[in-house]
Chains A and B, each alone.
Chain A
Amino acid sequence: MTQRGEPMIVVERLEKHYGPTRAVDGVSFSVAAGEVFGLLGHNGAGKTTTIRMLTGRTRPSAGRARIAGHDIVSDLHAIKPIINLVFEDQNLYERLSGRENLHFFCDLYAVPRVRAAELLDIVGLTEAAGRKVKTYSTGMKQRLLIARSLVNQPRLLFLDEPTRGLDPVSARDIREIVRQLSAAGTTVFLTTHYMDEADELCQRVAFLSQGKIVALDAPRELKLRYGQRSSTVLLDDRVEHTVDLHDPIAATHLQEWMQAGRVLTIHSHEGTLEDVFIALAGRPL
């Protein structure tokens, strides 16, 4: 684990049961301060329940977790001011303008309202700030959600599917904001269905399946461990061959082709997080 400082989140055997169903089943992990951490999994794997527990909106059935050293159950009042969440749903007050939405949350967090103008500028909504949110596009709403989540300058930001349903340009903008936050030292806890996004943003990812963490490491390590490593080789007879780099016989063939000078092009294929997920969960996201 490559921690850049003291852990921001420490989770120990956390469980959440709904009757006989174990939505989260004894997960343990820690997230370093300033790290971008990804939690990946199918729908119903337990990602949102984990976030609900860590943000104090659901009480754990067992186990414990600490954020910035505070217990998530007994010290929640100390945690709330230093965390925030970009929700999966675009839960904004639609009859209010973008500016009014931010003013409202500035007031709730007892933050000067001037912060709203700064945030609107950061997410590029200054011109639309006076419009009612119900007239916003999905991408604009998502940017406003991010602005809202930054009102209190959180040390830990949870992002629950932040780019779901966004066009590529809006999604790219959101990812850029996340990168900037990380660079500024904010710890980011991300859940996403988009493996490329997790690969691009996260220093470490955890795969959650049926409430359990089945893998946790840096994306590159996971890809090396679980992904298929192969190369596509084009020979002088214009025939393409796929070479499995794990296979010693195929590697010997490749060496022979190279020595014989028959190789025209060679393209290596690194495994993807999608491959990792399929290898672990048995089906794609």
Chain B
Amino acid sequence: MTRTKHPDGGSNFAMLERRFKRERAARKAAEKLLEEKSQELYIARLDAEVSLDAMLNAIESLRDGFAIVDLDFCIVRSNSAFNEILERCTGSSVVKQNLLVTLTEICPAETDFTSHQDSILNALRHSSTYEFAGVNGIVLELSAGDVLAFGQTVILRDIVGYKREEERKSAARKSQALGSLAGGIAHELATPLQFIGDNLTFVRDSFATLNSVFDHLSEEFCDSCDRMQLLSDVFVRYDIDYIRSELPAALDAAAKGSSQISKVISAMRFYTEQNKGEREPVDIEMLLKSIVTLSRNKWVYACSFEVRCELENTIVNVIADGLTQVFLNLILNSAEAIGSMDSNLTRHQHKIQIVIRRVSDDLIIVFEDTGPGIGESNIDKVFDPFFTMKLDGESMGQGLSVSSSIINDDHNGHLSVSRSVLGGARFEIRIPGSFDY
């Protein structure tokens, strides 16, 4: 068979060859572009991962609960604070659960569930805020973000916890400021007090010498009636016998007062030196006694005080600043409770008793008093925020709540209340691991 060339075959072939070249060049250009775009995508992905990590870290560090829920209100992502708030209400893990169902279920039994659920749904759908009471005295505020394609953001705030934290911060700031002030005053008073103490000693010694002079003169003049009479006249005119009998007692009282001021100043200095927010070795007996001294004017007219330390080694690993607040709260509560009693007992018959002991590796501090105690109906509520047995306005009801948080949360310990054998209230502080340092 012979092959003949098509009349237009040559030009068609050339045309197809050009087209083929263009297509091949286009493919190469596309591959190059694809490579560049892949690189860009890879870098963009790395950037996105870094941004995501930064965002998640920021969300994780929020004090409020933060979550993203999908359009069916299922929790897609949440921070630890969010999980912790809900787990405190439900007692179980809430990860991946439905937020609407979970929030509806955590309200107290007496709640109108339908109305409650409607309010939650309304807040979620209209990107608004809804505040409600949960179980265990927890009050929550739900704030829903705008509804977007992926769902929406939700912020859950434990209002009571938030307020308590604010109170603690405020108290810590005040305490710090007062500590600085007290430290400064203590420092300024220490030197003049030293002068007073030294001069009192000098005056007392000098007076003893003067007394000896008077005695010597009396002995020397006893042979002469005239001189004896003269000395007697001088004694009478200047009331020397009265001065000689009263001055030592006056000087003793001044020295005692000076010593008391010195103790207060030492306590203030010790207190301000311990005013830190970290767990560190501290002499618990000294700390407690310094608080007893500083709060003396609050209890001295109501009762006596007894501090008994059964520890061999009084150095314990605690947050001194926090314990100072707890000690002060418990002492003031006892003193006020005793002071408010219509009792026949005298000041000396009432007492606040504190015992420090060690059980295994736990530090135990027991506060007991002869006050009226806490009734059975209130004993479960004393650690609730804003609970108070005092008249309206006399107390914020935060002292025991904050104390409980300091012991239970900050020290991972336990603060409990019961009836004391002394007749009043008994508070027991138990702090594990206090002797590890």
A and B: real partners?
Answer: no
Residues in chain B within 8 A of chain A (CB atoms): none
